[in-house]
């Protein structure tokens, strides 16, 4: 996992304990008189080693917050639960175990199996999903079984041992029932719900990635790349079938299965269709007046796509079809713009309409946000004041006015926050440095890390750069608050001969570069686009457990090819 574990440099020391356990076991067999004493020592060593393991993993989880560590903790704790609830507690409370200790100890075999499943979770199943579902089943089953136990206790004269057996039987039966019901519901409903709970997230990120491409060829290439990545297949290509010449072409000319393609099957495919043949999957992508595009996944008689994967692919195909149509419309509009440019400056009514609709959309979103927050608070304050005007108990008016005043102050602070977010007030009056100082002070009040910063005074001709710098600082520091989990954060604004530089570093948890750019969970793409709009350079470097470094450089009057990495 590329994590810095506790005691990682001296982990070999802990192998002494199982070695001592083995030696004591052999010694206890050779000397039966001290068998019980050696058993207690072995159990003590085992308990100590278990606490050390759990402590190392728990400390690592709170330090790095990775889901794999949560799976490891659960996989170590859960195998001990049968021993606790089916042997130890019934034996202590009722002097009667539901399962013997040696049978309960067999559940400890789940620990090494869980490690294997964790490694195979990407292709076989998602272990974290099953743990979450098990917790869900457990909560409902336990509450109902406990309710049943209380009802039988008060309504019948059954002995407590019998009631306990009924409780555990009902509890386990309900857990099995919930699992069976969910599997049946999944099989009967055509929805995007699967044992791999991140399919919806994958679909969202894939659509977002594909939607940013402006050329159809690039769009199809990105689509193939995402299919290879998400479905974990290798041989994927785009087939084009020409209606007039009945010619079939593939983007990957190295494929050798052209002879197995049935033209009749290609003509029958419609939007959303996915057909499985002996050698490959065929999925409809798009059709125009001249040709039809089809996705070909060569499974070589070995790959079987699961139902949830087929559903993911089917929905993605619908989006890709719409993307292609929209991309064609954009290309046509660009051709119109080029034609209008060569023909002379003529006003484009559709462009004016588009801009007007965009402005209206922005105003609607702002109005909706203010209506749902500030306006509702003001209405509540107005009702409180109205109630005070007609109040008969004058003694309580003072305390009520204090509460109304507090609500008004909170509402005003929220409104000030909205205004500062839309347009930082100090930016125009006192300049960029004063606005950044105010922002840093606000972040320092909320931050649990040490913030080190320096800000050179800039002399920029383009005033729009001041707002861009402010937004970049805002995004960087908010990311540090929400995601970094760092002890120290440094951000420096430096003046250069041509423009400025922003250097950001933290010693936080970092992340995987590919996951970060694909998920866009920290606004990285937004910062890249801001820098790219002013022909700047944006460089990012991060690794899991090694923090993050961001270097931004913008030059006035210099327009090279924008560079991002």
Name the residue with higher pLDDT: 457 or 268.
457
Q: Is the pTM of this model over 0.85?
A: no
Does residue 192 sit within a domain?
A: no
Asked whether residue 140 falls in the same domain as residue 73, the answer is yes
CATH number of the domain that residue 224 is part of: 3.30.450.40
Does residue 119 sit within a domain?
A: yes
Per-residue pLDDT at 562: 36
Task: For CA atoms 520, 522, 525, 526, give the dihedral sign.
Answer: positive
Q: Count of alpha carbons within 13 Å of 351, Cβ hemisphere only? A: 9
Asked whether residue 330 falls in the same domain as residue 222, the answer is yes
Asked whether residue 141 falls in the same domain as residue 256, the answer is no
- Is pLDDT at 60 greater than 90 in this prediction? no
Partners of 151 in beta bridges: none
Does residue 190 sit within a domain?
A: no
Partners of 274 in beta bridges: 283
Asked whether residue 96 falls in the same domain as residue 218, the answer is no
pLDDT level of residue 502 (50, 70, 90 thresholds): very high
Asked whether residue 410 falls in the same domain as residue 538, the answer is no
Q: Compute the distance between CA of residue 504 and CA of residue 552 in angstroms, rounded to an integer.
A: 9
pLDDT digits (tens, 9 = 90+) for 112-171: 877 776 666 555 555 556 667 778 888 889 999 999 989 988 888 888 878 888 888 898
The domain boundary residue, chosen from 378, 395, 422? 422
Q: Compute the distance between CA of residue 288 and CA of residue 341 in angstroms, rounded to an integer.
A: 29
Per-residue pLDDT at 564: 38
Does residue 275 sit within a domain?
A: yes
Asked whether residue 403 falls in the same domain as residue 465, the answer is no
Does residue 205 sit within a domain?
A: yes
Asked whether residue 447 falls in the same domain as residue 508, the answer is yes
Total count of domains within the chain: 4
Q: Tell me which residue range forms the domain holding 541.
A: 424-565
Name the residue with higher pLDDT: 375 or 508.
508
Of 33-47, 287-301, 368-382, the least confident:
368-382
Per-residue pLDDT at 563: 37
Residues with Cβ within 8 Å of 473's Cβ and at least 6 positions away in sequence, in order, are 436, 439, 491, 493, 502
Does residue 56 sit within a domain?
A: yes
- Is pLDDT at 419 greater than 70 in this prediction? no
Asked whether residue 494 falls in the same domain as residue 551, the answer is yes
Asked whether residue 117 falls in the same domain as residue 230, the answer is no
Per-residue pLDDT at 430: 75
Residues with Cβ within 8 Å of 168's Cβ and at least 6 positions away in sequence, in order, are 85, 86, 98, 145
What does DSSP say about strands 563-564 and 291-298: parallel, antiparallel, or unpaired? Answer: unpaired
Does residue 388 sit within a domain?
A: yes
Asked whether residue 400 falls in the same domain as residue 496, the answer is no
Of 147-151, 298-302, 316-320, the least confident:
298-302
Name the residue with higher pLDDT: 34 or 71.
34
- Residue 286, SS3 per DSSP: strand
- Is pLDDT at 192 greater than 50 in this prediction? no
The domain boundary residue, chosen from 422, 444, 466? 422
Does residue 497 sit within a domain?
A: yes
Asked whether residue 470 falls in the same domain as residue 398, the answer is no
Asked whether residue 264 falls in the same domain as residue 249, the answer is yes
The domain boundary residue, chosen from 319, 342, 365? 342
């Amino acid at each position: 996992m590329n994590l810095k574990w506790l005691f990682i440099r001296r982990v070999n020391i802990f192998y002494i304990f199982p070695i001592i356990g083995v030696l004591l076991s052999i010694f206890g067999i050779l000397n039966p008189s001290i068998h019980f004493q050696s058993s207690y020592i072995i159990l003590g060593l085992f308990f100590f080693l278990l606490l050390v393991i759990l402590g190392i993993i728990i400390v690592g989880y709170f330090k790095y917050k990775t889901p794999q560590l949560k799976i490891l903790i659960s996989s170590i704790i859960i195998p001990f639960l049968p021993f606790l609830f089916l042997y130890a507690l019934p034996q202590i409370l009722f002097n009667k175990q539901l399962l013997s200790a040696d049978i309960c100890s067999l559940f400890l075999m789940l620990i090494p199996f869980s490690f294997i499943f964790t490694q195979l979770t990407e292709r076989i199943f998602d272990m974290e999903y099953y743990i979450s579902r098990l917790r869900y089943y457990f909560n409902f089953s336990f509450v109902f079984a406990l309710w049943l136990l209380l009802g039988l206790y008060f309504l019948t004269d059954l002995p407590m041992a019998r009631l306990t057996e009924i409780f555990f039987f009902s509890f386990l039966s309900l857990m099995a029932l919930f699992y069976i019901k969910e599997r049946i519901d999944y099989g009967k409903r055509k929805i995007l719900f699967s044992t791999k709970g991140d399919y919806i997230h994958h679909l969202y990120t894939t659509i977002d990635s594909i939607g940013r491409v402006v050329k159809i060829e690039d769009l199809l290439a990105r689509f193939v790349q995402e299919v290879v990545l998400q479905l974990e297949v290798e041989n994927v290509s785009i087939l084009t079938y020409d209606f007039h010449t009945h010619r079939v072409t593939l983007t990957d000319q190295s494929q050798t299965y052209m002879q197995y393609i049935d033209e009749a099957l290609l003509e029958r495919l419609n939007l959303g269709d996915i057909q499985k043949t002996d050698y490959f999957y065929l999925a409809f992508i798009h059709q125009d007046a001249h040709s039809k595009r089809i996705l070909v996944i060569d499974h070589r008689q070995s790959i079987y796509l699961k139902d949830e994967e087929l559903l993911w692919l089917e929905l993605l195909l619908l989006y890709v079809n719409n993307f292609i149509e929209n991309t064609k419309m954009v290309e046509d509009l660009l051709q119109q713009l080029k034609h209008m440019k060569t023909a002379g400056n003529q006003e484009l009514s559709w462009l004016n309409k588009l801009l007007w609709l965009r402005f209206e959309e922005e105003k609607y979103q702002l109005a909706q946000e203010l209506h749902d927050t500030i306006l509702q608070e003001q209405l509540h304050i107005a009702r409180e004041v109205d109630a005070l005007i007609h109040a008969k108990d004058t003694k309580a008016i003072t305390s009520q006015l204090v509460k109304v005043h507090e609500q008004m102050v909170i509402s005003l602070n929220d409104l000030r926050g909205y205004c500062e977010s839309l347009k930082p007030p100090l930016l125009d009056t006192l300049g960029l440095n004063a606005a950044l100082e105010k922002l840093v002070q606000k972040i320092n009040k909320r931050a649990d890390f040490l913030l080190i910063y320096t800000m050179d005074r800039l002399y920029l001709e383009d005033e729009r750069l001041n707002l861009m710098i402010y937004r970049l600082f805002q995004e960087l520091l908010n990311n540090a608050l929400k995601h970094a989990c760092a002890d120290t954060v440094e951000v420096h604004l430096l003046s250069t001969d041509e423009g400025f530089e922003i250097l950001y570093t933290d010693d936080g948890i970092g992340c995987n570069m590919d996951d970060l750019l694909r998920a866009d969970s920290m606004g990285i793409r937004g910062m890249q686009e801001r820098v790219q709009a002013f022909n700047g350079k944006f460089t990012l470097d991060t690794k899991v457990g090694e923090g993050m470094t961001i270097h931004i450089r913008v030059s006035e009057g210099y327009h090279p090819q924008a560079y991002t990495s």
